[in-house]
Copies of this chain bind each other. A is one copy, B any other.
């Protein structure tokens, strides 16, 4: 089972934002606006992307997923408010 660290951002029409938010929350931690992060298996990420495609208008909306095999390769810094203080970085 391959577990990855993931940063997900979406940009959807207002009409679809609530559905996307609900979907992404099922798989990842919300950190800001339309930004999520977390550890996820490759299989679950494919599932999330598959479900997202069903919600999205692919010629209007956008979903970007950054993945890294190891969260150690990524550093994270927050300035201002930490909107979701749950943090998997050590």
Contacts and interface: CB of A to CB of B under 8 A. Distances in A.
Interface in A39-59: 49, 52-53, 56-59
Interface residues of A, number: 38
Q: Copy number in this complex? A: 2
A79 B53 contact: yes
Contacts of A76: 64-66
B61 A67 contact: no
A83 interface: yes
Interface in A1-45: 7, 9-11, 31-35
Nearest to A57: B80
Contacts of A60: 80-81
A78 B64 contact: yes
Interface of A: 7, 9-11, 31-35, 49, 52-53, 56-70, 73-83
